[in-house]
Structure 1
Amino acid sequence: MTEAELYSLYKGVYVPVLLHSPQSLKYCEDFRFRADDVLIVTYPKSGTTWMQEIVPLIMSGGDLASVETLHNWDRVPWLEENRACILNLEQRPSPRLFSTHFHYNMMPPGFFEVKPKVIYVMRNPKDVFTSSFHYYGMSSFLVNPGPQGEFLKKFLDGKVMFGSWFDHVKGWLNAEDKERIMYISYDEMIMDLKDCVSRIAQFLEKPLDSEVTEKIADRCLFKNMKQNNMSNYSAVPPELMDQTKSRFLRKGIAGDWKNQLTEAEVEQFDSVYKEKMKDVKYKFVWD
C-alpha cells in the first residue's frame, strides 16, 4: 500500500493513520500539561522503548512492578496516538510520564505554556535508518520499504513517518528553555548505561544510590529488556507486526549500519548529513 493509503499529513509530516486518528491528534493538540510531567521525545527508532523502561524504573526507585504490570504504550503513552484518548491521562497522579515523536514545532500550545521536562533521545541516523528498514518491513501499517536504495532516498528526503530525522534533531536542539531538556543519545546508553541512568535520575531530581542505579542499569540491558513481554511488543497481533520477519527489539547495538549500507550508500548518506548538519554545533557521540 502507498503513503496516500496508509498515512495522513499532519503539520507537514506523515503519520500512520492506523495509530493517529484525527481524534487522537486533536486530543494531543488540546492536552493540558503539568509542570512536573516528563516527556520522552524521540525520532522513531531512536531508543523510545528503552527509555520507556528506564524512566519508570527511576521514578519508582527500582520497583520492577513499574515495568512488569503495564505495556510500555500504556505506562508511558504517546500523546498523539489513539490510546491516549482512552487512558484517562488527566486522572493520573503526578509526575506523569509521556512519549511523543513530534518535532519541536509540532508540539501543542500547552507544552510551550507549561514547559514540562523533556528527555530528548538521539541516535546515529545511519542506525535509525537500518532499524527503520527492518521495522517498515514487518509492520503492516507502514509503507513497505521496498529496495534499500529507494528507502534510503525516502529517508534522506524525509518522506517517511514523522518526516526528516535532520529536521527533528535540529528542531529540538534549537528548542528554548534548554534547562528543561536533557539531551542524551542511544549511543551513550550503549557505552555506559549505568552512568546514563545516574544522569537521567539527577535530571529528574530522583537521585538513586549506587545499588539501585546498578539494578536498573542491569534490568535495562537490551538482552534483559527483550525478555519483558510488557516491552517487547510480543502482545501486538502478527497481522500488525510480523515478528517472524524481524523482532521489534532486534539487536540493540550501535553501528549495525555497517552491516546494512553499501559503500555507495554510506557516501550518499555522509554527503547529505554533512550538508544538512553543517550549522549544528552539538557534539554527537557518533561524529
Structure 2
Amino acid sequence: MLGRCTPNIPAEVSNTSYFLVFLQTLCKVSSHSTHWMSEILSLIRSQGDPTWVQNVPLTERAPCIEYADHLQIALKNPSPRILTTHLPFHLFPKSFLHSRTKVVYTLRDPRDAMVSVYHFIKGFKELKDLGTMEEFMESFLSGEVAYGSWFDHVKGWVEMKDRANIFFNTYEELKQDLRGSVEKICQFLGKELNSQQIDSVAENPSFHKVKNEAMPISSRKRGSVSMHIKQPLVLTGLPGDWKNHVTVAQNEIFDRFYPSHIKGVGVSFPWD
C-alpha cells in the first residue's frame, strides 16, 4: 500500500490574492497530461507566443503548490500566476472561495489515471515497488494511493461545479477537440485571443511535442529531492490506453466498483 499523502500547504498560498490554478486528479508534474495542460495555459497567458514556453522550464512557469520551493518561484512571477496542484478540495486553501483565483480542473478516465500513476511510480528507483497491476488496482480502488481516492477527489471538486471561478474539462475532450477546448478555456479566463493566437495555442503543446521536449529521464527533482528514473515515464497518451495494461478480469472488477462509488456526482463523463 502507498498510504495517503497529506501535504503541508505553504501559508503563502492563502495569503496571495490571485492564482490561476490548473488542478488534475491523480496526476504528476512529470506526466504528459499535466504537462500538456500546463503548456496550454502557459500559451494562453502569452497570447499564443511560444517563446516563454520554449525558454522557461515548466517548474518555473507552473510550479506545484505542494512544494514550498516551487511556490517561492511562483511568488516571484507577475500575476496572474499559473500553479499546478493535485489537492483534493478539502485540502485546498479556502481563501480560494473569496479570491479572484480561477481553477481549471481536468480529469481523465480513472483507468487511464491508474495506469499512468502505476508506471510513473514504478519508474522511480527511490519509491517502494507497487507490485503487480492487480495489486496496485486494489490500492487504487480503496483510495490507498497518494492524495486518496480518485472518486472522493472528483466528487469533492464537482460539488463546486456551479462556482463561476472553476472550469471543468476532461483529458478526453482535449484529445477530441483541442482547439474548441482552448476557446472555452480562454472564455473562462477572460482572455481574448484572435484566431491565429488560438491556433498557436492548439498547435504548440501537442502530445508529441510534450513527449519529445520532456526532461531527460536519468534524473528528476520532486520538490527538493532528487529522484532517479529507471524507465521512461510517458505512455502513449491516448484515451483508452489502459486496455493495453489492464486485463479483462481486472476491468470487470472495475466495472462492478465504479457505478456505486461515482453515484451521485451529478455529471456524466466521456468514459461512462
Aligned to 2:16: 33
Task: Report the residue type matching 1:14 in the other structure.
Answer: C
Deviation of 1:93 (Å): 1.4
CA distance in 2 between counterparts of 1:203 and 1:99 reads 17
Identity of aligned residues (%): 32
CA spacing shift, 1:174–1:192, aligned 2, 3 Å: same
Q: 3-state DSSP class of the match of 2:104?
A: strand
> Given that residues 33 and 114 in structure 1 are in contact (C-alpha distance below 8 angstroms), is that contact kept between their aligned partners in structure 2?
no
2:5 to 10, 14, 19: 14
Q: Point out 4+ residue stretches in structure 1 off by more than 4 angstroms.
A: none
Deviates more, 1:59-68 or 1:109-118: 109-118
Aligned to 1:204: 189
Is 1:45 matched up with 2:27? yes
Is 1:73 matched up with 2:59? yes
Deviation of 1:64 (Å): 1.1
Which structure 1 residue ranges, 5 or more long, are not aligned?
8-12
Instruction: Tell me the alpha carbon deviations over residues 116-151 of structure 1, each in whole angstroms, 9 at most, x when there is no partner.
Output: 111000100010011111111102354322111110
Aligned to 2:115: 130
Aligned to 2:90: 105
Deviates more, 1:119-128 or 1:143-152: 143-152
Which structure 2 residue ranges, 5 or more long, are not aligned?
221-225
Aligned to 1:237: 219
Task: Report the residue type matching 2:10 in the other structure.
Answer: Y
Deviation of 1:86 (Å): 3.6
Is 1:219 matched up with 2:204? yes
CA spacing shift, 1:214–1:105, aligned 2, 3 Å: same
Q: TM-score, normalised by structure 1?
A: 0.84
Aligned to 1:55: 41
> Given that residues 23 and 84 in structure 2 are in contact (C-alpha distance below 8 angstroms), is that contact kept between their aligned partners in structure 1?
yes
Aligned length: 263
Task: Report the residue type matching 2:125 in the other structure.
Answer: S
Instruction: Tell me the alpha carbon deviations over residues 71-129 of structure 1, each in whole angstroms, 9 at most, x when there is no partner.
Output: 21221111111423542x33421111111110011112322332511100010001001
Deviation of 1:225 (Å): 1.9
> Given that residues 207 and 237 in structure 2 are in contact (C-alpha distance below 8 angstroms), is that contact kept between their aligned partners in structure 1?
yes
Aligned to 2:77: 92
CA spacing shift, 1:101–1:67, aligned 2, 3 Å: same
CA spacing shift, 1:275–1:261, aligned 2, 3 Å: same
Aligned to 2:257: 272
2:165 to 174, 180, 185: 180
CA distance in 1 between counterparts of 2:247 and 2:25 reads 24
CA spacing shift, 1:77–1:179, aligned 2, 3 Å: same
Q: 3-state DSSP class of the match of 1:240?
A: strand
Is 1:255 matched up with 2:233? no
1:149 to 134, 139, 152: 134
Q: TM-score, normalised by structure 2?
A: 0.89
Deviates more, 1:65-74 or 1:162-171: 65-74
CA distance in 2 between counterparts of 1:165 and 1:219 reads 30
Is 1:83 matched up with 2:69? yes
CA distance in 2 between counterparts of 1:56 and 1:112 reads 24
CA spacing shift, 1:267–1:115, aligned 2, 3 Å: farther
> Given that residues 64 and 84 in structure 2 are in contact (C-alpha distance below 8 angstroms), is that contact kept between their aligned partners in structure 1?
yes
CA distance in 1 between counterparts of 2:12 and 2:90 reads 12
RMSD across aligned positions (CA): 2.2
CA distance in 1 between counterparts of 2:100 and 2:127 reads 32
